[in-house]
Amino acid sequence: MRVRRTAAALALTAAALLGTIATGPARAADGPASAADGRPASATDGYGRFPYGQAEFPTGTTTAADGRSLFTAADGRVLQLRGFNVDKYGETTEADIRSIAAHGFTLLRVAVSWTRLEPARDRYDEAEFAKLHRVLDWAERYGLLAVVDFHQDVYGPKFGGGDRGIPVWATRDDGLPFTPDPDDWFAGYFQPAVQAAFRHLYDDADLRRWQDDFYTTVARELRGHRALLGYDLFNEPFGPIDGDPSDPAVLAAASAELEQGRLADMYRRLIAAVRRVDDRSWLFVEPTVLVGQGVPTSLPAFGDPRRGAARLGYAPHFYDTAVEAGRDWDPTGGFIENYTAAITAYPKAAHLPVLVGEWGPPNSRTPGNAALVRRQVAAMAGFAAGWTMWYWCQGDGGYCALGSDGRPAPGDGPAFGPYATALAGTPVRESYRDGVYTLVFTTSARACRTDLVLPDGAAVTVTGARGTVIVRRPGGASVLLPATRPGTTVTITVAA
């Protein structure tokens, strides 16, 4: 009888837990309770592939045994956010967002442009805001969270950036020359006119005020949206360089000076600008791109004026400059090791979760770059709380994550592998190799459900736990551990 009573108790506990699975993202305190078109918000909203796979809003962090800060949900579960960059070119459709969700991802990084949103001082483009709202509404509909990325490349459109980046009316180049290099767009950062524009943006009181006003306006417009995770405050920051930028020592010194001074001051201003109207969102700071060359950031710690615990994060990019220049990746060059060593100290000391905002090679179809994707996914499992790959599109080359057939591009397969979107404890180790996914974690006192994205028909085994219940669903599974004591080491293995 004891066995039957225990089994019945476990069944009732599992049923109760399953009743909590099919819920949508947590409602913002001042956000709407329904979809944008007025229909009641639901877990599936007419899209049934991931009825339990809705992204949960991180309400805090926890510290793993290795010192990493990880996102946590209100129930204490650790959240792992993964997804893709979208809308840099203004082309994202609802079908794209639906497809990202169908592949098991929970996060978007949505590029926005100061130029497009505020084409003239104090004149905002309502059509551009409406488009941004549509992308966030689609994210909500399909259970995704979104980081809004204040994007710039080579400052803005005055320097060949199209309609992206900082507007011409906020560009001061002192009349200095600029000659674009069609073979090396990044070299534009080192030209005198661009250097002057960044110096004025950091130093001029009116430009600083206009930038603050823009951030406050965007935050006021989007606050409370159910899909909004937060903001990446400035894409790939750059600044003045005194000396020869081809000299690594000069470049490293200029980067450190920028991060400790002008850039740090900008981040403090922008944090305050968003917090004037939004106390809920997460705010992410980026280092300069030199972190990709193994140069640790010199950013200071930042305070968060919101009520309660800080909601700040660190959002570096993960690019090998040689690969970006068109070479196939060389696994003997030490890139992964140097990057990992450079990336870890700052967020641990500042207690910031790491969200890798951009990563991935321009062509994953070559042997070296395919190996790079595999190594990057494995490395991020050891230092990041989440990531967004560059870029969600369909094509036969470039950064597109999907091939022309709509399947993951050759070489990008590891980014589409199994993973836990939420787990009942803190991760110890996570790996995916040769078709086998392994997750080792230590159970917590507050949660007992782990949600997995995995291929249909994959075999799931659990060791180290008592009373395990595995609930299958299309594209995933939930592992329930209602009888497992907190502090237990549990291993979940998935074999396709």
Indicate if the pLDDT at residue 18 is higher than 80: no
Contacts of 465 (CB under 8 A, 6+ apart): 443, 481, 483, 484, 488, 490
In this structure, are 340 and 402 located in the same domain?
A: yes
| Residues in CB range of 9: below 8 A, 6 or more apart | none
Phi, psi of 118, rounded to the nearest 5 degrees: -130, 75
Residues 209, 241 within the same domain: yes
- Domains identified in the chain, total number: 2
DSSP labels, 99-140: HHHHTT--EEEEEE-HHHH-SBTTB--HHHHHHHHHHHHHHH
Based on the fold, state whether residues 429 and 487 are members of the same structural domain.
Answer: yes
Do 438 and 409 fall into the same domain?
Answer: no
| Residue where a domain terminates, one of 416, 443, 470 | 416
48 and 144 part of one domain: no
Question: How much is the pLDDT for 473?
Answer: 87
Same structural domain, 156 and 23: no
pTM above 0.75, yes or no: yes
Give the β-pairing of 317-318 and 282-285.
unpaired
| Judgement on whether residues 432 and 401 belong to the same structural domain of the protein | no
* pLDDT of the residue at 53: 53
Is residue 361 located within the same domain as residue 379? Answer: yes
**pLDDT for the residue numbered 46:** 31
CATH assignment of the domain containing 38: 2.60.40
Percent residues over pLDDT 70 in the chain:
89
For residues 282 and 340, state if they share a domain. yes
What pLDDT digit, counting tens, does each position of 54-89 carry? Answer: 799 999 999 999 999 999 999 999 999 999 999 998
Compute how many other C-beta atoms are within 10 angstroms of the C-beta atom of residue 290.
Answer: 21
| 72 within a domain of the structure (yes/no) | no
Where is 287: in which H helix or E strand?
none
294 is a domain residue: yes
- The string of pLDDT tens digits covering residues 245-303 is 889 999 999 999 999 999 999 999 999 999 999 999 999 999 999 999 999 999 999 99
Residues 190, 216: one domain?
yes
Condensed to tens digits (0 to 9), the pLDDT of residues 145-165 reads: 999 999 999 999 999 878 889
CATH number for the domain spanning 302: value is 3.20.20.80
Please say if the pLDDT value at position 38 is more than 50. Answer: no
Domain that holds residue 429: 1-53+420-496
Domain boundary among 387, 416, 445: 416
Domain boundary residue among 388, 416, 444? 416
Displacement of CA 230 from its chain's centroid (Å)? 10
Q: Do residue 259 and residue 161 come from a single domain?
A: yes
> Does the residue 68 lie in any domain?
no
Quick check: is 71 in a domain? no
The answer to whether residues 166 and 222 belong to one domain is yes
